[in-house]
Amino acid sequence: MARWVRLRPTSLKEPSAGAQDPLEPPADAWKSAILPAVSKPLPSNRRPAISIVGPGNLGTALALTLPPAGYEVRSLAARRKGFRNRQTRTLARRLKARLVEIGKQPLDSEVVWITVPDDVIASVARLLAQSQDWKSKIVFHSSGALTSDELTCLREKGARVASVHPMMTFVRGTVPEMAGVAFAVEGDAAAVRAARSIVEDLGGDAFVIKKQNKVLYHVFGSLASPLVVALMASLEQVAQAAGIRQRDIKRVMLPLLLQTLRNYLKHDASAAFSGSLVRGDVATVRKHLAELKNLPEARAVYVALVSAALRLLPVRNRKSLARVLGSS
């Protein structure tokens, strides 16, 4: 294994006492910082060069956060149509990185980080496997649900492979900082060591996950972010039906949402739970269901969440509420 790999023990950190409220934005949160700040001096030992395969939302975020942590992003690899993407070309110029076509030109970096969508990871790996020598190289992919076995063809060519998934949301136009982000890692021992070293330099926290747990781990992440956004979409639909103007919805709901999350983070789900179900207001729930008949998507979300609350949270008049749901 090349000497640059450094194994540093990492663990998921608990917030320290007196730490800033995680829901309270920092004073400069509204500044349009393009690159995250580097809070610690970089050691003098050289980090490996990295190539990003698939510079989409996640790949772009990594490409922008790796250099401040001391890593050269040497190449950006994309499909041929990606060469016409203005953002990709701009990113390559900014990083002074080569822009290459996947599988057509060799990637001359020690680490290759594949950040394409899950459904094409295996096919991209096959293209890459045919393009060059892979002995002594480290290859990651960043699927939350798929294991390092998606890269078997590269492993067979001599690469050490791992899945390295950040528990973070990546959307166009936003580059989240990696400091404090948890990365689930599994794969070949050498690749896991390399991943943990890189994650630590990014300020993240790497933890090893078992292959058989990856799908449920990804469900966990889906419930924590994209499905929360789906809930927000249902919330907006109901708010508009209630006569709240679109431009006012966030202002009206923000204090409630923030306090709910603060209660959950400070205590737990049971202690943060409030409202008509805690009180056992059967008549109120019945009225909710009746009014939601004209909003079937929101009604389905409501029924699913009430059903979960009946099973998981402290609810009064549980049997009566279950009958109301069953008759709806």
Q: How confident is the model at residue 23 (pLDDT cuts 50, 70, 90)?
A: low
pLDDT: which is higher, 155 or 87: 155
> Phi, psi at residue 50, to the nearest 5°?
-130, 140
The proportion of the chain whose per-residue pLDDT surpasses 70, expressed as a percent, equals 86
- The residues near 125 (Cβ < 8 Å, ≥ 6 apart) are 114, 139, 141, 150, 151, 152, 153, 154
**Residues 98, 89: Cα–Cα separation, whole Å:** 10
At 81 the three-state DSSP class reads: helix
> Domain coordinates of the chain in residue numbers?
50-212, 225-326
Query: What is the spatial distance between Cα 203 and Cα 68, in angstroms, rounded to a whole number?
Result: 11
> Residues, the chain, total?
328
pLDDT digits (tens, 9 = 90+) for 204-260: 999 999 999 999 999 999 999 999 999 999 999 999 999 999 999 999 999 999 999
- Please state, for a pLDDT cut of 90, what percent of the chain lies above it: 80
Q: What pLDDT shows up at residue 45? A: 65
Structure tokens at 225: 């972010």
- Kindly give the pairing relationship between strand 138-141 and strand 160-166: parallel
Which range, 14-23, 30-39, 299-308, 319-328, is most confident? 299-308
Q: How many CB atoms lie within 10 A of CB 239?
A: 17
Kindly state the average pLDDT of the residues 60-85: 91
Q: What would the mean pLDDT of 118-132 be, rounded to a whole number?
A: 96
How many angstroms separate the Cα of 288 from the Cα of each of 16, 246, 253, 323?
Answer: 41, 21, 18, 15
Is the pLDDT at 28 greater than 70? The verdict is no
Rg of the chain in Å (alpha carbons): 23
Indicate the Cα dihedral angle 172, 178, 181, 182, nearest 10°: 100
Paired tokens of 321: 């509420």
Quote the mean pLDDT of the chain: 88
Alpha-carbon gap, residue 204 to 186, rounded angstroms: 16
Two tokens, residue 285: 């729930």
pTM of this prediction exceeds 0.85 = no
Neighbouring residues of 121: CB distance < 8 A, sequence distance ≥ 6:
114, 141, 143, 146, 150, 151
* pLDDT tens-digit readout, 253-307: 999 999 999 999 999 999 999 999 999 999 999 999 999 999 999 999 999 999 9
pLDDT for residue 327: 83
Identify the CA nearest to 75 among candidates 56, 47, 99, 40. 99
Cα gap 78→102, rounded to integer Å:
5
* CA separation for the pair 79, 54 (Å, rounded): 8
Question: Tokens 């990856």 appear where?
Answer: 214
At the top level of CATH, the class of 50-212 is alpha beta
User: Is 187 in a helix, a strand, or coil?
Assistant: strand
